[in-house]
Amino acid sequence: MSSFSKLKLIALILLLSLGCVGSALSADDPAAELRAKAEAGDIQAQVELGQKYAMGRDVETDFAAAKQWWEKAAAGGNTDATFYLGVMYAQGDGVAQDMMKARELWEEAADKDNTAALFKLGMLYTEGEVVQGDFTAAGHYFTRAAHLGHVQSQFNVSILFDRGLGVEQNKFAAYAWAKLAAESGHPNALELVAQLEGEFNEEQLAAAQEEFAQLKAGLGKS
């Protein structure tokens, strides 16, 4: 074998060896690729890396690291990261539990139409533990999330209308929102739709179905 051929063979072996080392490192650190993207400024990667640290997936649970990555993503405008930071404060994961701070972060995310944050705020006003119970305020947040497609919020709005909590009782509106949630498979919504259909006479059912059609047609429109 010529000297040139030997050099080519050695170079090829070195390249293959480096590839094996890289694969081994990746296997040893399943989050390496995601971390590299996060460090390069990929906001979605920062959110996902924060989730890995918070849940201990592919890495050891590290709430401080989760908080760091979510803060970076939130600073970049990601509302999911802002919402997750709120959850950290609500649960006291790696930080002192602070429901007022959690509420503040959820309000920040809700201002940008984050449906999870809107739902959480609705629940705060429904439960009345962190803030004074207020079904009207709860309905405000649930309705915003419902119009953005949040299924549980759609069902919650139907309950408010069905029972007249924070709003004037309106069985047709209750039916419309429940049927919307039922179309996404919400089991309790399916039950409420069946219950209301059993209560309506033929004319009322037609009116309720018309309200549902109008609601569905206008969903997501400003």
Residue 220, pLDDT score: 62
Over the stretch 60-76, which tens digit does the pLDDT of each residue have? 999 999 999 999 999 99
Judged against a pLDDT cut of 90, whether residue 121 lies above it is answered with: yes
Winning range, highest mean pLDDT, from 13-17, 26-30, 199-203, 216-220: 199-203
Summarize the confidence of residues 136-158 as an average pLDDT. Answer: 98
Judged against a pLDDT cut of 50, whether residue 13 lies above it is answered with: no
Residue 16, pLDDT score: 35
| pLDDT over 70 percentage in the chain | 86
**CATH architecture observed for domain 114-222:** Alpha Horseshoe (1.25)
- In angstroms, the CA 128 to CA 81 distance is 25
Judged against a pLDDT cut of 50, whether residue 104 lies above it is answered with: yes
Superfamily grouping for domain 33-112: Tetratricopeptide repeat domain (1.25.40.10)
Question: Residues near 15 by Cβ (< 8 Å), separated by ≥ 6?
Answer: none
Where are the CATH 1.25.40.10 domain residues in the chain?
33-112, 114-222
Angle among Cα 193, 197, 199 to the nearest 5 degrees reads: 120
Residue 31, pLDDT score: 85
Summarize the confidence of residues 121-143 as an average pLDDT. Answer: 96
| Range in 8-12, 100-104, 113-117, 156-160 with the lowest mean pLDDT | 8-12
Over the stretch 16-56, which tens digit does the pLDDT of each residue have? 333 443 444 345 688 899 999 999 999 999 999 999 999 99
- In angstroms, the CA 40 to CA 194 distance is 52
Mean pLDDT of the chain: 89
Residue 28, pLDDT score: 67
Minimal CA–CA distance to 165: which of 142, 147, 188? 142
